[in-house]
Structure 1
């Protein structure tokens, strides 16, 4: 929107193209994650898999993550940092929720369906790898871009772990591999939340020092 405010320099035009490309990638990621949430939430419930249910909620959280990133794209750093703070807190809540789900399934002694876990986990991995590749060049941006990148990276790791859990459930006939993987996903979410919140706080302090609020005179 402000690409031509400084005389339409080549730098501004290049930056505008980069922003447009990033916006398109976020839209693709939003659609992919929203669709995979619907697939995994029903598959996870049908299979009785804690890791698939956790992954489904992760897809939903990521869809919201991409949506927020689209909304604040091009806004001031302070606004983007506040959005990243919000997303970091959502990631932390996701981690706590997954831990609660694991405890529930451990107490219930649930044994998930390994075949469903394997098929759906493979589809989820392919979807997340596609988004991972698209976002690769934006992995070192501000805290808002960083939160998007970390979510996508964690998703790929989680999908691989779900497939490992499916193999473990199939081999052992117990739900413990599923519980273990869901626990790892919770830890990843909490670790990612800490990284994003810490960077967002740093950016907010930096922006505050550069543009301090005017003091009111009595």
Structure 2
């Protein structure tokens, strides 16, 4: 029995270290990418920075859930999913605004910042890879990190297309795709969390 308790404590400490690293990387990248996104007038970069913020919130809530019951962890994951949902909707609102009033994205900044963000998120995936099949709050963290890599590749492609076509529409299109990725991640984690809650209540 004591051996089992020790194992749980070790796993909790491992999860805590992972989430602290992920929270730090994503919070830092949110500030940097949002600043560059505003400077570059890029919908895709701003959308990706909001995705970073959503992930930082997920990891912060995940830290709160460590060591608590499965119901607490599932509810923490639900809160993460709702944050993700709100940020996805905010990205869509910004896309509509830019579609109406226009924008002039800077392709070089988009590609450069997209590349930096991609490296950061690959590092996050490496850090969390051993916990991707853990409890629901850690599965949420894995889903969001994997989605980020897809979003970063989209930002880089958007930068290339903006440069080749000399229009803002590739930037807006990728911003919309990032918003869809964010909303899809929210849907997945909310469904996962609700399933965990139902299973726990039937035991």
TM-score range, shorter chain: over 0.9
CA contact (8 A) 1:143 1:200 kept: yes
More RCO (CA 8 Å, sep 6+) = 2
Deviation at 1:28, TM superposition (A): 0.7
Structure 2 counterparts to residues 5-154 of structure 1, below 5 A: 6=1, 8-9=2-3, 11-154=4-147
- After superposition, what is the alpha-carbon deviation per residue over 1:50-88, rounded to whole angstroms, capped at 9, x for unaligned? 011111111111111111101111100001111111111
CA contact (8 A) 1:55 1:158 kept: yes
Q: Runs of at least 4 residues of structure 1 off by over 4 A?
A: none
CA contact (8 A) 2:144 2:185 kept: yes
Kindly indicate which of the two structures has a greater share of residues assigned to helix. Answer: 2
CA contact (8 A) 1:117 1:162 kept: yes
- After superposition, what is the alpha-carbon deviation per residue over 1:114-138, rounded to whole angstroms, capped at 9, x for unaligned? 1111111111111110001111122
Structure 1 CA distance for aligned equivalents of residues 44 and 142 of structure 2:
21
The yes-or-no answer on 1:196 pairing with 2:189 is yes
Structure 2 CA distance for aligned equivalents of residues 141 and 194 of structure 1:
19
Question: Which residue of the partner structure matches residue 175 of structure 2?
Answer: 182
Ranges in structure 1 where 5+ consecutive residues have no aligned partner? 1-5, 211-218
Structure 2 CA distance for aligned equivalents of residues 71 and 47 of structure 1:
35
Ranges in structure 2 where 5+ consecutive residues have no aligned partner? none
CA contact (8 A) 2:15 2:66 kept: no
2:149 to 142, 156, 180: 156
Aligned residues: 203
Deviation at 1:37, TM superposition (A): 0.9
Bigger Rg, which one:
1
CA contact (8 A) 2:155 2:174 kept: yes
RMSD: 1.2
TM-score, normalised relative to structure 2 = 0.95
Structure 1 CA distance for aligned equivalents of residues 7 and 199 of structure 2:
26
Deviation at 1:205, TM superposition (A): 1.3
Deviation at 1:111, TM superposition (A): 2.1
